[in-house]
Amino acid sequence: MKVAVVGATGMVGEVMLKVLEERNFPVTELIPVASERSIGKTITYKGQDFKVVGLETAVSMRPDIALFSAGGGTSLEWAPKFAEAGTTVVDNSSAWRMDPTKKLVVPEINASELTKEDKIIANPNCSTIQLVMALNPLHKKYKMKRVVVSTYQSVSGTGVKAVRQLENEIAGVQGEMAYPYPIGRNALPHCDVFEENGYTKEEMKLAREPQKIMNDRTFSVSATAVRIPTSGGHSESVNVEFENDFDLADVRKLLSQTPGVVVQDNTDTNTYPMPIYAHDKDEVFVGRIRRDESQPNTLNMWIVADNLRKGAATNTIQIAEYLIENKLV
């Protein structure tokens, strides 16, 4: 299995390499790919050194699978070139997510829709992945009508420049700003760029992507996305109105039986999900499960996941694993 990692020197690319190694992904030849300025650099994988190559070289090497995490512009230009060369692309950018001809996949939910003809497969937004992991089993049983989600997203979701800004602020050092304001001791209700409707792109991803992943437009999602001064892990406060009533014990049982979901919900022992505990883990953690007492058939919960792992690298690699297991590449 010849595997290209496009964006291998970036934050998500580095985590992809780590996850490939941890999961013992069947790599017979690794092709680390990055932008012009990184060509010739060396990355280490499983104790071996590999030279970083450019995109053109990588296409000519005809990998079986290319795992992309290099930004939307790069994906739009280069994913079709890899696909034309016979490579199956799993893309972590926003480039193809809402393209009606491309599948948007969370393996635990809709990997069964994939076929050999799918040469470009989209990985959802990090905040979307953890949200749908918890919502999907509940929707199947109780039928969602409306979801209101507020996110508390770490600076790692913006990238290395934002992580550096937070570190500089903590250290009292003047440096380059990734955000229009300080992030330390602050909260910015501003993830990605603002659209004409007053929502940010991040908020609209949360509104649109769940419907596509779950292949269901009978429910709606309204989102407010906030950046907070944590270095890793995204958190979400989620309010879900269902058509049918539920029992809280059944909700906890249903979630705890869902592959990839861990319930941490015991207020007596102050047990609830937090980014500090989700760090470097692949599961989605759900807690603070309680009834909304202001209206019927409505649930509140708190969802946390490592945005660089299940929110990005791990989900991408799980898609690739599914393709291999089902002989789709």
Which residues are known binding-site members for NADP(+)? 9-12, 37-38, 156-157, 307
**Does residue 234 carry a catalytic annotation?**
yes
Tokens of 280: 């470097």
**Known binding-site positions:** 9-12, 37-38, 97, 153, 156-157, 227, 307
Alpha carbons 95 and 99: distance in angstroms, whole number: 8
d(CA 124, CA 68) in angstroms, rounded, equals 13
Total Cβ atoms within 10 A of residue 216: 14
The separation between the first and the last C-alpha atoms of the chain, rounded to the nearest angstrom, is 9
Single-letter amino acid, residue 201? K
Q: How far apart are CA 95 and CA 72, in angstroms?
A: 5
φ, ψ of residue 204 to 5 degrees: the values are -75, -30
Q: Catalytic one among 126, 139, 190, 191?
A: 126
Q: Binding site for substrate, residues?
A: 153, 227
Reply yes or no on whether 126 is catalytic: yes
Contact 240, 144 (CB under 8 A): yes
Q: Which of 190, 191, 234, 279 is catalytic?
A: 234
The secondary structure element, H or E, covering residue 256 is helix 248-256
Catalytically active residues are 126, 234
